[in-house]
Structure 1
Amino acid sequence: MQELHKLLDQLQSDISSFDKVNLSISSGSVGWHIAHSLKTIDQIVTACKNSNPNEYQWHFNFNRFSILSLIRKIPRGKAKAPKIVRPEGDISQETLTLSLEHVRENLMNWDSFDKNVHFPHPYFGVLNKKETEKFLELHTKHHLMIIDDILK
């Protein structure tokens, strides 16, 4: 999870540019991408916390294997964010900073979680702790690359 904490630092450094938009790159602002990334991390970590590790069962998923293990990059424009992780309402430096603090708190005990905590991903199936870490890192990097392109 060290990598994810570094990525959170990068998101934090982009908060001051929250209102920047480049419609040739994305319809979302820098703030939207930060808010979406934070909301995704928060929702997934909370789902893992609330999961029952004894109920986890691994199943092969070609999409998960392809993206998380082979390509190691989320392709742009291929999927739409589920409603539950789409930012709603006003996005400001203050709301982004509060969300970031909340996510950091939510991640505090991650290392102590059982290896079979899990959450159901809409494209990749059920992800355990290790797969979740990979996904959160790839997903956050994906949005940081979009943010970097918006800011160019």
Structure 2
Amino acid sequence: MLSFVKRLDEQLLDIEAHVIDANVRTAEISAWNVGQQLEHLLIAMTGIMRGLQRGQMPHEARKSNELRDYAFTKKSFPRGAVQAPAVALPSDSPDTKSLKRLVLKTRNRLAGIMDIPSESMMNHPILDWMTRDECIEFMTIHNDHHLAIIRDILRLRSA
């Protein structure tokens, strides 16, 4: 599990490095600009970690979830397969100052993620209940997905 946490730290550095590209948009790749991609990632990570800290437990057996199973099996998910949940939607034009603040907030939460009990769970709006370790792994998969989109946006812009 520590390898996933290390990967999250590395991804957060990558996210932070892309803040300067916040206003770059390539409509052929995504309706969101780089800043919106980053804000979505940071909102999602913070929300997941806050959910885990609440330590809720499901009242019934966890349901099968095709997208969750796919993501954990393939370590990815297809582009455009799912719309972001309303709670993780970015603003229309996030500015670099707010993104830098979100990076710091996310980094602070991430520093304590292994202090959360491993049996702690959170109810993801699309993927249903996940344990702490599943959430950590999912965040790396989700971040990889959006960081790849960002790389494609930037590559097309400079082509």
Cα RMSD (Å) of the superposition? 1.5
Residue in 2 that maps onto 1:91: 94
Residue in 1 that maps onto 2:150: 147
Question: What secondary structure, in the 3-state scheme, does the structure 2 residue paired with 1:44 have?
Answer: helix
Separation in structure 1 between the aligned mates of residue 77 and residue 35 of structure 2, nearest angstrom: 20
Q: Is the 8 A contact 2:53 2:120 kept in 1?
A: yes
Separation in structure 2 between the aligned mates of residue 96 and residue 87 of structure 1, nearest angstrom: 11
Provide the aligned length of Structure 1 versus Structure 2.
149
1:79-109 residue CA offsets vs partner (Å, 9 max, x unmatched): 0001111112541111110000001111121
Report the residue type matching 1:105 in the other structure: N
Question: What secondary structure, in the 3-state scheme, does the structure 2 residue paired with 1:107 have?
Answer: helix
Residue in 2 that maps onto 1:5: 9
Report the residue type matching 2:110 in the other structure: L
Separation in structure 2 between the aligned mates of residue 44 and residue 151 of structure 1, nearest angstrom: 27
Residue in 1 that maps onto 2:28: 24
Separation in structure 1 between the aligned mates of residue 29 and residue 77 of structure 2, nearest angstrom: 15
Residue in 1 that maps onto 2:133: 130
Residue in 2 that maps onto 1:36: 40
Runs of 4+ in 1 over 4 A off after TM superposition: none
Residue in 2 that maps onto 1:116: 119
Q: Is the 8 A contact 1:61 1:124 kept in 2?
A: no
Separation in structure 2 between the aligned mates of residue 66 and residue 89 of structure 1, nearest angstrom: 30
With normalisation by structure 2, the TM-score equals: 0.88
With normalisation by structure 1, the TM-score equals: 0.91
Which runs of no fewer than 5 residues in structure 2 stay unpaired? Answer: none
Report the residue type matching 2:9 in the other structure: H
Q: State, as a whole percentage, how many aligned pairs show the same letter.
A: 21
Q: Is the 8 A contact 1:7 1:140 kept in 2?
A: yes
